[in-house]
A and B are shown apart, each in its own frame.
Chain A
Amino acid sequence: KQEVTQIPAALSVPEGENLVLNCSFTDSAIYNLQWFRQDPGKGLTSLLLIQSSQREQTSGRLNASLDKSSGRSTLYIAASQPGDSATYLCAVRGDSNYQLIWGAGTKLIIKP
């Protein structure tokens, strides 16, 4: 059964730093992986979608990488800003059904 883990559960860094959020999964037979952002009390916003055949995706200051063989994805945030403060979740889709398997998220705080 696929399990998705995000470590650490919380992270606090000063503004301007580059940082990496981690997502690991136990079954490498995935179809794709998505990274989401959630602001407090709000819904989720899709940030990046990586297909299983891809190694990375970029959007602005965000770069997500995927290493299926090791069961890992990272979300790199360059030059962090206070507005990046949010909870970041990753979700993995397997090949066989419509369901996503979710990580519990990393709560990120960027200190001004």
Chain B
Amino acid sequence: DVKVTQSSRYLVKRTGEKVFLECVQDMDHENMFWYRQDPGLGLRLIYFSYDVKMKEKGDIPEGYSVSREKKERFSLILESASTNQTSMYLCASSSLDRAWEKLFFGSGTQLSVL
């Protein structure tokens, strides 16, 4: 069974901390994505990557960075966490073959910044 695994289900951090959210996929997918989901705002794309060491900004990249050193792993970094980054963070992956590009999601990380 295909799988996207996010390292933490719940995370509580303090303002100013550096936060790492990890995502691993086992489907050999080229594309990986980080979204945040907030009530009333829906899903918003933070960053995505279509290859190792490649990254592209999404709609709301401010305050975030990403790292993709290996094909299967895509990390989201909050350089200095702030309370407005409290949210559900969702990682997803898909094949580069656009004919088969169903998006597969992890279970999400609920991050609270105090």
Contacts and interface: CB of A to CB of B under 8 A. Distances in A.
A77 to B, nearest CB: 19
Interface stretch (B13-21, B40-48, B66-74, B77-85): B40-48
Contacts of B56: 98
B72 to A, nearest CB: 17
Chain A binding surface SS class: strand
Contacts of A100: 45, 103
Contact of A98 (B6, B31, B102, B108): B31
B105 A44 contact: yes
B105 A99 contact: no
A34 B56 CA distance: 22
B6 to A, nearest CB: 8
Size category of the binding interface on chain A = 20 to 34
Interface in B14-60: 31, 40, 42-43, 45, 48, 50, 56, 58-59
B61 interface: no
Contacts of B101: 32, 49, 93
Given A51-B99, A98-B50, A105 B42 contact: yes
Interface of A: 31-32, 34, 36, 41-46, 49, 51, 89, 91, 93, 98-100, 102-105
